[in-house]
Structure 1
Amino acid sequence: MESLQKSLLVTGGAGFIGANFVHYWLNTYPNDKVTVLDALTYAGNKENLASLEGSSNFKFVHGNICDQDLVEQLLQSGEINTIVHFAAESHVDRSITGPDEFIETNIIGTYSLLKAAKKVWLDIPKEQGRQALEHRFHHVSTDEVYGTLELRDPAFTEDTAYAPNSPYSASKAASDHLVRAYHHTYGLEVTTSNCSNNYGPYHFPEKLIPLIVTNILHDKPLPIYGDGKQVRDWLYVEDHARGIDLVLNKGRVGENYNIGGHNEWHNIDIVKLICQLMDQAFENDKTLIEKYPLAILARQAKSEELITYVTDRAGHDRRYAIDAEKSFTELGYRPQESFETGIRKTIEWYLDNDSWWRSLIK
């Protein structure tokens, strides 16, 4: 599809990763058109896209991916040739206490999208005696579908057997299989990417990194599950967007690509690093003391004293790690941010954009 000017439908484009992708795409391809479809549930925030309002090549639609008629209408009216599917319930804790929404959005929602894409791109042209429309359905998945790793296990590859351990990861695994099936059964041109943990601007405050930053600013405890030795592979969100770009333009149809940063950290070490960087920020910029008067320990360079160990969550996977060698070799993918540069950018963004996150925290 490299030569084809794209008209994209981005599902979940008002969420954390989706919104960052939309900004990246329109900055990189200003002549392409992007339609965002988002149900604006708790993690979807139209403010994430506020700077794009009024742009001639951007459109926002408030709607649900389970509404197949709406999706078909958007595909046809916008002459959309590319779907980038981010829309998903994604918080593991929420999936444990309320799995129904995860089944509905992640499985039924993906199924509805696939049916709409098949009908508009394959079935209608065939009925009219025309060739199938040139298209791509890109499905954004997660490394959690692979299960968990021991400390010395090799990282997940695209050939690792699926072994999801939470309702969230099980629902994502099911959606991955549906996407694969629609390619092998019906010929829908699909790609899938499985990504490691993202961080960066617009990250909903319940997630680890923004939670730690905003709790420090309110002198609240920094909750650490179990011993804090869970290992995650972290990737700056714009590097994820860059990886999806390469999959769309260079990836082989029907293939899965792991996108990661080869950047494993223990949760407790990330929290301690954020504490250090926050203490440094208050030391170097005295205006933060007035802006964030509740951050008492940060101004004393004692943020680590807020660390509080709590009971581990049920079925907590010990380690995730992505082997992105296939993306490196086939697509020429390389993350541009190190964790050190990316985490500093992220902290600076939250310190500068309190008007965005204050209304989202309790």
Structure 2
Amino acid sequence: MKISIDLREPDRDGKKAIRLIYYAGSYIDPETKKRKHKRSRESLSLFLYDNPRTPAQRLHNRETQRAVEAIRAKRLYDHETGKHQLDSGNALKSSFFDYFQKVTNQKALDTSKSNHSIWVSTLKHLKQYYQLPDLTFGEVNQSFMEGFRHYLMHEARTKSDSALSRNTQYTYFNKLRACLNQAEEKGILKDNPTRRVKCIKAENNKRTHLTKDELIAMAHAECRYDVLKRAFLFSCCTGLRWSDINKLTWAEVEPFYDSYRIIFHQKKTNDLQYLDLSSMAMQLMGTRQESSARVFRGLKYSSWHNMELLRWAMKAGITKQVTFHAARHTFAVIQLTNGVDIYTLSRLLGHSELRTTEIYADIIESRRRDAMLSFPDILPLPQGKD
């Protein structure tokens, strides 16, 4: 590997930012048949004066040049001794595609089908972007990640030849980041480029939820499938995902003081969760069965059941596009409206990051309006008024 020092154009203050450029060989572009260089860049928090005029500025330049040379020498040494390579000593030759495939295979066992399919799609797009038979860990650097980010945002297409949605771009890029982070956590990867590359920001899509009155109307309306009705209302009052409700067994429902709680592993994340149950939730679960039995036996995910969910909502006088996941959104919004803080809600929903829960705060228009209108009046009274 070759590392060179690069000076940027001077800014309006006459300062030239410094960065290192890493050269990791070259390859032949399969489309243009032209040779391209594999480069990555590292910005340093250092600068040189373009035209030093004082002794202090000239001293600054000399010391900075020595510091940059020392950093470059350190990077070269780290590379040679394997500091930025795999512990196996074969970093630049080990297949990242193979590693990503192993992680994807494990997701098929640990997570939902939908999550596994996202990992599968991400790998397909990685191979579509790279265009070469194999990709090594050494080639997954800052430059590669920035290129893949640009590919997802401007070039990648769906099967129907349309551009990827922003949230799909966000999801695929985060799978790449998650894979690299996992490799780092396991001690496989020493130099993780994810910290030097910007994320793709997700869009806050409109999330359908039911108001308290609409939920009551649903509870009183008739539904063709009793198990669908009970499972949906159970999700509304617990926040559980369909996947967790569908696999819930009576063995996971345990007595806790004078009530009950569920102790289960989330299907999506495999994290252990504890969820206390209200008397209403217990009533929706029905009569207790043997430990191995599913609580909501007969619950199925199909287009027919989804259609019945819409029919049920229409019988309740609701014209919203109600899906089963709307129940989880309903739980979150009602809890926030009732004054539950965002951190507690995040724990109840089983979110690994607080920012995932914060999307629900934008839905609470009434609380936002009350917050604005309740600001105290600080202006003095007009003259002549008490």
**TM-score, reference length from structure 1:** 0.21
Bigger relative contact order, structure 1 or 2, given CA contacts below 8 A and separation 6+? 1
Q: Who wins on radius of gyration, i.e. which is larger?
A: 2
**TM-score, reference length from structure 2:** 0.20
